[in-house]
Structure 1
Amino acid sequence: MILKTLFNPTSKTLLFSFLLLSVYLQSNAQEKKTAGNPVFQGWYADPEGTIFGKKYWIYPTFSAPYSKQVFFDAFSSPDLVNWTKHNRILDTASVKWAKRAMWAPSIIEKDKKYYLFFGANDIQSDKESGGIGVAVASKPEGPYEDYLGKPLVDKFHNGAQPIDQFVFKDKGEYYLIYGGWRHCNIAHLKKDFTGFIPFKDGNIFKEITPDNYVEGPFMFEKEGKYYFMWSEGGWTGPNYSVAYAIADSPFGPFKRIGKILQQNPEIATGAGHHSVIHDPKSKDWYIVYHRRPLGEKDGNSRVTCIDKMYFDEQGFISPVIITNEGVEKSSIK
């Protein structure tokens, strides 16, 4: 009966059409040259991009009401185009002191372990419980477990809310750069990430806040210069953006140069809270950021995107052109 149905004239046409569609879809998938923006589906923000081994990784905030931000997902790709989701690499079941608002993960590899720094609870004063924590795993995709059993930073120092953490390695030393509420601190991490090493003046938290800083710090070194980047504007508004400064030291002083990432009202709004990916063996630089699709009014309607980042002959960052196409395939060299 089945064979008779398949080979009647009408079924032949349907079967042939199905086969053509299948071949087309397979061919189209194989020929996919760019990821498109967003690079993966779902509401995700504050993405930190990095490289582990031969894969690109993105660790974002799950963009939802604070009470639902109780876990992190991660995404990996061999080529920037095809992404694999790793579900719930860390959640509040593993971090007893974290209750909500798990934000802006930052990750670093050390001694074959992966340390995930994150914010939780959105504390508004020193009387509340929460701040910046650390989780650890033996693989980039986890599962991660609470490393300290308590926050690493649980108070306001120099006016900086303990959120939006970034871990920066420089000349074998590790630093925590963080801060909301328009203040940014840098602190020298102990080798085991259990606390901090005081600076020569006895202080632990050194403020490095540049003009217009709001949140979302990120730093990288290029040709002996330190590029410090941050987000400006309100995260729920269309004018959320990224600016930067350059200094000879990770401690600054950082004098604001200008914006390099912002909305294009024909493509998306609220482009901000970014990170940078660079394979040292490649000339390509990528900026990973979130933005709000056109027509979306909900503050949590944020998606993760990647576009190319370029430098001019003087080493200044050129304004980023945000696109719908995204970046082309590129494997780790």
Structure 2
Amino acid sequence: MAGFAANPIISYPYTADPSPHQWSDGKYYMYCSHDKDTDVDWDMEDYHVFSSVDLVTWTDNGIAFRKTDSPFGKGALWAPDCMYRNGMYYLYYPQNSVIGVATSTSPTGPFTNAKQLYSRTDAQYVYDPQIFVDDDGQAYLIVSACMKTGGFKPVVCRLGSDMVSINQETILNINGGNFHEGPWMFKRNHIYYLSWGGGSCDYATSTSLTGTYTHRGTICNQWRDVNGNLIRGEQQHPGIAYFSGQWYFASAWGAPDNKRRQIFMQYLNFNADGTIQFITPDMKGVKAPELLITGGL
């Protein structure tokens, strides 16, 4: 029986922007951007998909999509997300200031037939797409928009049933905080949680999908190395998921710098009032889900 994972759970190839999912085959999947070995900037050229049966040991399934597969430019590929619906896997990705979508019949790709999905005339660029599905089954695209008037805004877009069209879009308002990039939304006890990265991973909550959201605090802005030393570090993109009765938080830390990153995973826990407990990731990582049931936390 598998024991604890060791952080980072994905150490090579260098990857960031984790998007964790569990599909109907029971396996866990992580969709990640890929930092090149010689990167001096965030200039990712492809996406890798990692899979696991226990959240402890992860397999690299290779390149699922290259920027040369995209029909609308040669720009870098930043944070992706994936969704399964209609018998198809949909890969959402940002490139050249727009959001694209490609499809595959396999969760690990290759993803093909890419097309442009979304852009904004009032934004310099939009990036870091995430797909959120509400309790009624309606799917939404969440993105960060860098506005031409200055600042970053979270935007929620209602997706059509075909998953490749936009029916409605709304800019979300947040009271407090400093929204930047890597939006990740989830729902717990009828409360919408909007988290984001860019320096630290912060979050805001609302009783309505379209807000207004209220900033609640920081989830993570540091980690503890193998010697127990606290290291401050930027967290560009949270990936939050609920598996087998437990919430999980994934993000990336620098290895050895913030241009060549590695993925860590830690438990995400809540206080009685619904606020999120601050996380200091360590090298221990998480247990396989079956151990949470038999052995507890």
TM-score bucket (shorter structure)? 0.7 to 0.9
Alpha-carbon contact 2:71-2:114 (below 8 Å) kept: no
Identity across the alignment (%): 26
Q: Does residue 99 of structure 1 match 2:70?
A: no
> What is residue 101 of structure 2 aligned with on the other side?
134
How much has 1:138 moved relative to structure 2?
0.6
How does 1:230-249 map onto structure 2 within 5 Å?
230-232=196-198, 240-249=199-208
> What is residue 116 of structure 1 aligned with on the other side?
91
> What is residue 119 of structure 2 aligned with on the other side?
154
> What is residue 287 of structure 1 aligned with on the other side?
249
CA distance in 1, matches of 2:185, 2:129: 11
How much has 1:100 moved relative to structure 2?
3.0
The TM-score with structure 2 as length reference comes to 0.85
Normalized per residue, the structure richer in helix is 1
How does 1:81-230 map onto structure 2 within 5 Å?
81-121=56-96, 123=97, 131-148=98-115, 151-157=116-122, 159=123, 161-170=125-134, 171-181=136-146, 182-198=152-168, 205-210=169-174, 211-230=177-196
CA distance in 1, matches of 2:186, 2:111: 26
CA distance in 1, matches of 2:56, 2:74: 34
> What is residue 13 of structure 2 aligned with on the other side?
42
The TM-score with structure 1 as length reference comes to 0.77
Alpha-carbon contact 1:160-1:185 (below 8 Å) kept: no
Point out where structure 1 has 5 or more consecutive residues left out of the alignment: 1-30, 124-130, 199-204, 233-239
Distance change >3 Å, CA 284–CA 231, structure 1 → 2: same
How much has 1:95 moved relative to structure 2?
1.9
Point out where structure 2 has 5 or more consecutive residues left out of the alignment: 147-151
C-alpha RMSD over aligned residues: 2.1
How much has 1:94 moved relative to structure 2?
2.6
Normalized per residue, the structure richer in strand is 2
CA distance in 1, matches of 2:58, 2:68: 26
> What is residue 326 of structure 1 aligned with on the other side?
285
Deviation readout 1:29-55 (Å, 9 max, x if unpaired): xx7622211112221111111111211
Q: List 4+ stretches of structure 1 deviating above 3 A.
A: 64-68, 154-157
CA distance in 2, matches of 1:92, 1:275: 22
How much has 1:267 moved relative to structure 2?
4.7
Aligned to 2:265, which of 306, 314, 319?
306
AA of the residue aligned to 2:14: W
CA distance in 1, matches of 2:124, 2:287: 38
Alpha-carbon contact 2:197-2:237 (below 8 Å) kept: yes
> What is residue 17 of structure 1 aligned with on the other side?
none
AA of the residue aligned to 1:278: Y
Alpha-carbon contact 1:106-1:166 (below 8 Å) kept: yes
Alpha-carbon contact 1:120-1:132 (below 8 Å) kept: yes
CA distance in 1, matches of 2:67, 2:180: 27
Deviation readout 1:219-276 (Å, 9 max, x if unpaired): 11111111111114xxxxxxx2111111111111101011011114725422341111
Alpha-carbon contact 1:56-1:79 (below 8 Å) kept: yes
> What is residue 260 of structure 1 aligned with on the other side?
219
Number of residue equivalences: 274
| Max Rg structure | 1
How much has 1:183 moved relative to structure 2?
1.4
